[in-house]
């Protein structure tokens, strides 16, 4: 992965992937044994993790546009795996491999810009099938998804949820990553903003704009520049991005 991916993963919470299986998954294991479904060991291990930042279960793909959000979020963050034909509680519902592959292909190519690259693997579990879709972390971020109104939006993955990507992160992804040795401030706005970032809790873009009296759009641009210079870090929680100096 290039400098863009490396810095993003290093300086956000996205690398902290606590994986905890809920009680429902242990109950479900007993149900599986009762049904006598023979599940490949690899698939068992995946399902036993429960959904998390790099794993998502889908009963079925009924809407390519919706699955595109998860695929783009995986590609924009740490990568991840979709298990189609698996319910939220981990039980295997089964999937039509051909139909689901077609829907995933449509999601990746028709509703993602640029298209999201993926690999698929079909697994047989008793008389049912599960489609595994593997998405790597991308070097071509941001991958955006077209919504029902025709607007293109970028998403990121945090724990087991997808969130709209912060505007600063989108600016950061689109930055010129040509190596530079110039990491000094040219304007009073840069100095003022960086001084405000000297906090342990971090501030949102709106808070920084209010504190510094610098227009929000300029704050966004400068924060992306500071991220590229590796001067600040971004903490992302419940869809809210906060920034602070390193």
Q: What percent of the chain has pLDDT above 90?
A: 76
Please tell me the distance from the alpha carbon of residue 49 to that of residue 54, in angstroms, as a whole number. 10
DSSP for residue 241? E
Q: Which two tokens stand for residue 47?
A: 């399902």
The whole-number pLDDT of residue 27 equals 56
First to last CA, the chain: 22
Which pairing describes strands 128-135 and 232-237: parallel, antiparallel, or unpaired? unpaired
The whole-number pLDDT of residue 185 equals 76
Query: Spelled out in words, what is the top-level CATH class assigned to the domain 167-245?
Result: mainly alpha
The whole-number pLDDT of residue 210 equals 97
pLDDT digits (tens, 9 = 90+) for 50-75: 999 999 999 999 999 999 999 999 99
The whole-number pLDDT of residue 213 equals 97
Domain with CATH 1.10.10.10 in the chain: 167-245
pLDDT digits (tens, 9 = 90+) for 192-223: 999 999 999 999 999 999 999 999 999 999 99
pLDDT digits (tens, 9 = 90+) for 127-173: 999 999 999 999 999 999 998 899 999 999 999 999 999 999 999 99
The whole-number pLDDT of residue 3 equals 37
Q: Which two tokens stand for residue 213?
A: 């009296």
Count Cβ atoms within 10 A of the Cβ of residue 204 and give its class: 0-12 exposed, 13-18 middle, 19 or more buried: middle
**Residues 135, 152, 219, 183, Cα dihedral to 10°:** 40
Q: Any idea how long the chain is?
A: 246
Domain with CATH 3.30.950 in the chain: 21-164
- Fold classification of 21-164 is 3.30.950
Q: Confidence band (pLDDT; 50, 70, 90) for 177?
A: low
The whole-number pLDDT of residue 11 equals 33
Query: Other CB atoms closer than 10 Å to residue 130's CB: what's the count?
Result: 25
Please tell me the distance from the alpha carbon of residue 72 to that of residue 164, in angstroms, as a whole number. 11
């Amino acid at each position: 992965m290039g400098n863009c991916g490396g810095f993003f993963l290093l300086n956000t919470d996205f690398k902290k992937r606590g994986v905890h299986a809920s009680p429902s998954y242990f109950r479900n294991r007993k149900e599986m044994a009762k049904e006598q479904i023979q599940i490949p060991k690899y698939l068992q291990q995946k399902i036993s993790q429960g959904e998390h930042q790099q794993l998502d279960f889908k009963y079925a793909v009924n809407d390519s546009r919706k699955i595109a959000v998860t695929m783009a979020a995986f590609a924009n963050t740490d990568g991840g795996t979709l298990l189609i034909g698996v319910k939220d509680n981990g039980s295997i519902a089964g999937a039509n491999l051909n139909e689901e592959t077609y829907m995933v292909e449509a999601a990746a190519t028709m509703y993602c810009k640029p298209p999201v690259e993926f690999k698929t693997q079909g697994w047989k579990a008793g008389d049912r099938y599960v489609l595994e879709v593997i998405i790597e972390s991308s070097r071509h971020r941001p991958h955006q998804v077209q919504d029902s109104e025709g607007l293109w939006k970028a998403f990121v993955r945090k724990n087991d949820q997808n969130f709209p990507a912060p505007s600063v992160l989108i600016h950061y992804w689109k930055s010129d990553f040509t190596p530079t040795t110039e990491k000094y401030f040219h304007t009073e706005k840069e100095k003022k903003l960086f001084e405000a970032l000297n906090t342990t809790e971090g501030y949102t873009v709106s808070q920084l704009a209010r504190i510094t009296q610098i227009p929000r759009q300029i704050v966004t641009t400068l924060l992306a520049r500071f991220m590229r210079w590796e001067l600040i870090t971004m903490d992302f929680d419940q869809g809210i991005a906060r920034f602070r100096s390193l």
